[in-house]
Amino acid sequence: MTFLPSNGGLHDFQFTFETYLDSSSQKIEADVSILINQIYSYHYPNDPTETERLDDQYEIAKELMEGRNYFAPFSRKSPPRKVLDIGTGTGTWAIDMGDEFPEAEIVGTDLSPVQPDLVPPNVRFFVEDSSDEWIYPTNYFDYIHTRYTLGCWSDMKSQIIQRAFDHLKPGGWLECQELNVLPVCEDGSMTDDYKLLQWARDMDTASRASDRQLVIGDDIKQWLEEVGFVDVQQMVLKLPVGGWAREPRLKHLGMLWQRNLSGGLGGLSVGLLHRFGGKTIEQVEVDLVGVRNSMFDRNVHAYMKIYIVWGRKPDVIS
């Protein structure tokens, strides 16, 4: 069922629902109104340019992880049967998992129906806000996955990690792959006036003001343990910003990430920094000129951290 809301701010946005709706028009209007409010609480772009950037970002992440999509202990001999991908975006991860595990049921959820129509028969996408109560049965999934959902949740621990624990089968796995936007440097070549660092700090401050915190990577492992996951493991990968790295593979990845991030800066920044950072749109665009230029400075050896954390729901809950 398809709805095209008349609201001027979303006049080109088509909503597609796969759900059971009450026959009353009042419920339909309420459902659409709720979804519009959810979309407005998400402060980042959702257009063809951004979806293309997300697909490129997926390839960068996969290359950084040396071709892997997951680190939870699954294989073709020991596959997951029911998989949930939260914040699936363009659905590329879910589609790849559907190809790798053809007997599994893969569900991807997102606020927007930007996924392709042609997908493996075992992959399904739903329009859904995972910060709301989940409609799935408890003890249902074998594997739940998030990637780069920074800025989506007011409280990732309670909204995602606790609910994942509740809805995983005993022995099931949660894996969170999350980027920290604050650049890091180990050799002193990045100073406080580095424009990318200033931008990241401004974004972090604005995200906290909007109740959608961006910088959460350091906390995820502890959150899994506090909720009750066991066998929790963490891997932190380094993604260079720009082509400064000597090692050819990292140099290549850094240049890809520089291009990807630079191309998305405008869309990523305006919503937060204008609404919650006290800047005009013109100020944001002017500041971003310096941010983009800073990423081309190979004398600054900055990188961003990718936190990959996975943990198992105990077989017996005490």
3-state secondary structure of 127: strand
Tell me the C-alpha distance between 242 and 80, whole Å.
37
Specify the pLDDT at position 2.
31
pLDDT band at 59 (very low <50, low <70, confident <90, very high): very high
> Rounded to whole angstroms, how far apart are CA atoms 15 and 261?
28
Residue-level pLDDT at 318: 66
pTM (two decimals): 0.85
Nearest CA to 41 out of 118, 121, 204, 151 is that of 151
β-bridge partners, 121: none
Q: Tell me: the pLDDT tens digits for 86-99?
A: 999 999 999 999 99
pLDDT score recorded for residue 277: 94
Task: Please provide the average confidence, as pLDDT, over all residues in the chain.
Answer: 87
pLDDT band for 222, please (50, 70, 90 cuts): very high
Residue-wise pLDDT tens digits, 4-52: 333 333 333 333 333 333 333 333 343 444 444 444 455 566 668 888 9
Nearest to 214 by CA among 264, 278, 272: 272
DSSP state of 45: -
Here the tokens at position 107 are 């569900």
What per-residue confidence (pLDDT) applies to 317? Answer: 74
Buried-exposed string 109-121: b where 16+ CB fall within 10 A, e elsewhere:
bbbbbbbeeebbe
Please report the pLDDT score of residue 49 as a whole number: 83
**pLDDT tens-digit series, residues 46-58:** 668 888 999 999 9
Q: How far apart are CA 115 and CA 295, in angstroms?
A: 31
Could you report the per-residue pLDDT of 133-162, keeping only the tens digit for each?
A: 999 999 999 999 999 998 889 999 999 999
Q: What is the pLDDT of residue 90?
A: 94
**Rounded to a whole number, what is the largest CA-CA distance in the chain?**
63
